[in-house]
Structure 1
Amino acid sequence: MVDRLIYRTPQPFDVQRLFTIYSDPKTNLFNPAGPMTDLVSAQDLLGRWIEHWDKHLYGVWAIARSDAPEHVIGFGGISLHDYLTEQCVNLGYRFAVEAWGRGYATQLGRDALTYAFEQLYLSEVYGLVRPDHMASIRVLEKIGMQPYGQLDDVPGKSPSLVFKALRGTST
């Protein structure tokens, strides 16, 4: 079977597509910070992703379908994320609305865990999700991540759910 998705390191020219996806209110329904509001924020985020790649040799990918490699449909992968007082390797993703409902998040999740465990030899990967984001909870469960705990990371809101995958136990 041919892979449906292509992953690549994000590049400066991805800034407009990143802004388009991250500024869409629909892709931010469960993001306590809300949609991205300006191109400068997109440039800052993209710069942090590129720095992460330069420093750690892994990070968030730009994601495209294999039949349309020039059109980015989302961003996701694994990267270091602050879980309040400690850094953990976190699985995260955001897809354009046009890509929803096609199993891309599940495929990305499986591919990112495979990469984390088989290429980078990491021992664990976490996933942070808002408790009312049922679609993402289902994705994390489908790829073999297990509930691990909660993180009180959004003042005045319910704690986020933390999922965890260990090398040798995810699907």
Structure 2
Amino acid sequence: MHTMLHGFESTTTERLLLRPFRETDLDAVFTLHGDPETSRFNPSGPLRSLDAAKELLALWLSDWAKHGVGYWAVEQRETPGVVVGVCGVRHKLFEGRTVLNLAYRFAPRTQGLGYATEAARVAVEKARRHLPDVLLVAIIHPENAPSLRVAERLGLRFERITDYEGTPSRVYGVD
């Protein structure tokens, strides 16, 4: 069993269950990240194989094992067991320093319902409370208007444009 950093274990919001990923989430990871719609603004594009999904899931599981924090699998409380998104923070090397990367990605059928804001707000609050010494950033494709709106709703501050994996991207930070 992973040792959770206190505060980052499973939690709920009004409509969502946020929980650490498990090995049994492979199909959900592939479905979500293999979808061209959800990966439209991802510099590496959609996952092309189940093996690629396995690598991504293994990375996320190792985040939880090493740091006790990572991306959550997101389920709607009314339909438990069905992963509709990924959200949270994970340690990442960015521009030569370790940061907490805030990410959120949801199935197309659930987009526009405010789930990303609802889940990401919890991630930001927990990061501020439990990992205040690690800079939190959100790196967002400049054309990804819904994602930019989430960052702004969360009170993140636009800092600069950077080259991220070959794509000019907007970097947001937390005050």
Settle same-fold status: TM greater than 0.5.
Answer: yes
Among candidates 24, 30, 34, match of residue 23 of structure 1 = 34
Q: Give the superposition deviation at 1:97.
A: 0.8
Matches within 5 A, 1:83-122: 83-122=94-133
Aligned to 1:127: 138
- What does the per-residue CA deviation read over 1:65-119, in whole Å, with 9 as the maximum and x for residues that have no partner? 1111211101110011232422211100111111101000111111111111124
Structure 1 alignment gaps of length 5 or more: 167-171
Structure 1 runs, 4 residues or longer, greater than 4 Å off: none
Which residue does 1:74 correspond to in 2? 85
User: How far, CA to CA, are the matches of 1:41 and 1:100 in structure 2?
Assistant: 24
Unaligned runs of 5+ in 2: 1-12
Query: Percent identity, aligned pairs only?
Result: 33
The residue identity in structure 2 corresponding to 1:154 is E
Q: Deviations over 1:37-78 (max 9, x none)?
A: 000111111111111101111110000011112111011100
Which residue number corresponds to residue 160 of structure 1?
169
| C-alpha distance in 2 between matches for 1:105 and 1:48 | 22
Alpha-carbon distance between aligned partners in 2 of 1:141 and 1:33, rounded to the nearest angstrom: 24
Aligned residues: 163
Q: CA offsets per residue over residues 22-43 of structure 1, 9 Å max, x none?
A: 0000001111211100001111
Residue 113 of structure 2 aligns to a residue in which SS? Answer: coil
- What is the aligned-residue RMSD (CA, Å)? 1.4
Length-normalised TM-score, structure 2: 0.88
TM-score, reference length from structure 1: 0.90
CA contact (8 A) 1:4 1:67 kept: yes
